[in-house]
Structure 1
Amino acid sequence: MTAKLPAPVLLTGRHVRLEPLTRAHVPDLFAAGGGDEEVWRWIPVPVPRTEAEMAAVVDARLADRTSTPFAVVERAGGRAVGVSCYFDASAAEEQLEIGGTWYGRAVWRTAVNTEAKLLLLGHAFEDLGMGRVYWKTDHLNERSQNAIRRLGASYEGTFRRAKRRADGSWRDSVYFSMLADEWPAARARLTERLAAG
């Protein structure tokens, strides 16, 4: 199967729906995480403290041609509670990054992230034909690193002084990946975790 580049698509699970990000999501996203220092601690943009600043964050994401951004909508309430994206997809190299992820604190440690990643990984491997999906995160962001490991991803290495943070300091980027032949076992574990509650 030849890999395909991602395009805006609707991905639906039991707990969440991933839909193409638009400006219409801004009010929900601001209600979910606007002004929350902890939510934005590791995101390389200034904390959006007004709805207009959240709109600017969304506009920047929509303008990024390397990104396919999704609003993560909690199905129970029908409100967007965060964002996750595909980045730097290559059909020739059969790989893409999952990143730019943030969620309002109210849905931390719930089924939201697990199911969102299950949907994104399933679409990447099964529909787009990717052979490798990868993540990168700030070396100080242990919560994100642990969440990525729980998905079944493998640590690949650390790129030193790789990216500037919003405050101007430099971070090292920790890389993880999952390969297509590792996906079936990871899918089974994630599906079991969701079923367990």
Structure 2
Amino acid sequence: MTARENALGQPIGAPVPDWTPRAAPPRAMMQGRSCRLEPFDPARHAAPLFDAYAQDRAGRIWTYLPYGPFDSAGAFARFADDTLCGDDPLFHVVVETETQRPLGVASFLRIDRANGVIEVGHINFAPALQRTVAATEAMYLMMVRVFDELGYRRYEWKCDALNAPSRRAAERLSFVYEGTFRQATVYKGRNRDTAWFAITDAEWPAVKRAFEAWLDPANFDGDGRQRLGLAEIRARMAG
């Protein structure tokens, strides 16, 4: 948005006409082709999620999260009851269509309805979900809810600045790096510098077109390999 000047010649932000606070994200399923996202239900999701996460025997998926790993299904279930059932963060489970298995979680959090800002976080995908079409489609479905269904202005991604895989994922998914907050938090007894990324509603139409082109079945060969990467599609669309 372009800055303007007031009557005193001072720069001010562009107007946001007819702005009203946004609704909170609903507890409703998001359906795609390769996956669906369901609000977390401990009775249905805790045990199969623990089993899926247990395939990461080294515990790498927990390194940059403020909790975990868990040494038993019971410990994970207790954590899930205490942490994954609230409204902010609002956790969703990624269920793979082909196998009907819950394979990961992601949440909406820091929900700022007044300003139309919302964050995606607590993303934790089991090995079976990582680097799959379903993993990408899950992120796309959450964006559709934020921008198309709810009309938010800004969608944020934050991570430990040392978390190189998360930073690469953010950039691949079209989030724009905005800076690093030094010594932002302490977790697991160590410092975290937090890298900030975001997509705005002005950027969303082009981002959405690229996602839809990437997710098109025609973009994959008979073995399920992508013909064009998401970044390559964005570059071609940008001319």
TM-score bracket relative to the smaller structure: over 0.9
Per-residue CA deviation, residues 173-196 of structure 1 (Å, 9 max, x unaligned), is 101000011111111111222222
Percent identity of equivalent pairs? 32
The alignment status of 1:122 with 2:163, answered yes or no, reads no
Letter in 2 for 1:160: R
Give the partner amino acid of 1:87: L
Provide the aligned C-alpha RMSD in A: 1.5
Q: Which has the higher strand share?
A: 1
Structure 2 stretches of 5 or more lacking a match? 1-18, 221-239
Q: Secondary structure at the match of 2:177?
A: strand
Query: Contact 2:37–2:95 at 8 Å: present in 1 too?
Result: yes
Using the TM superposition, give the Cα deviation of residue 65 of structure 1 relative to its aligned residue in structure 2, in angstroms.
Answer: 4.3
- Long gaps (5+) in structure 1: none
Of the three residues 20, 33, 39, the one matched with 1:20 is: 39
| In structure 2, C-alpha distance between the alignment counterparts of 1:87 and 1:116, rounded to whole Å | 16
Q: Highest relative contact order (Cα 8 Å, sep 6+), 1 or 2?
A: 1
Instruction: Output the CA distance in 2 between the equivalents of 1:27 and 1:82.
Output: 12
Whole-Å separation in 2 of the counterparts to 1:27 and 1:140 = 30
Task: Indicate if the aligned counterparts of 2:40 and 2:85 stay in contact, CA closer than 8 A.
Answer: no
Q: Which residue of 1 aligns with 2:15?
A: none
The residue identity in structure 2 corresponding to 1:54 is: F
Q: Which amino acid aligns with 1:21?
A: F
Task: Confirm whether residue 57 of structure 1 aligns to residue 79 of structure 2.
Answer: yes
Q: Which residue of 1 aligns with 2:52?
A: 32
| Partner of residue 66, structure 2 | 44
Q: Figure out how many residues of one structure are paired with residues of the other and give that number.
A: 196
Task: Return structure 1 stretches of 4+ with deviation > 6 angstroms.
Answer: none
Deviates more, 1:47-56 or 1:12-21: 47-56
TM-score in terms of structure 2 length: 0.78
Whose helix fraction is larger, Structure 1's or Structure 2's? 1
Which has the higher Rg, Structure 1 or Structure 2? 2
In the TM superposition, what is the alpha-carbon distance from 1:112 to its structure 2 partner? 2.0
58-67 or 184-193: bigger deviation: 58-67
Residues 33 and 97 of structure 2 are in contact (CA less than 8 Å); yes or no, is this contact kept in structure 1? yes
Please state if 1:101 is matched with 2:139.
no
Give the TM-score normalised by structure 1. 0.94
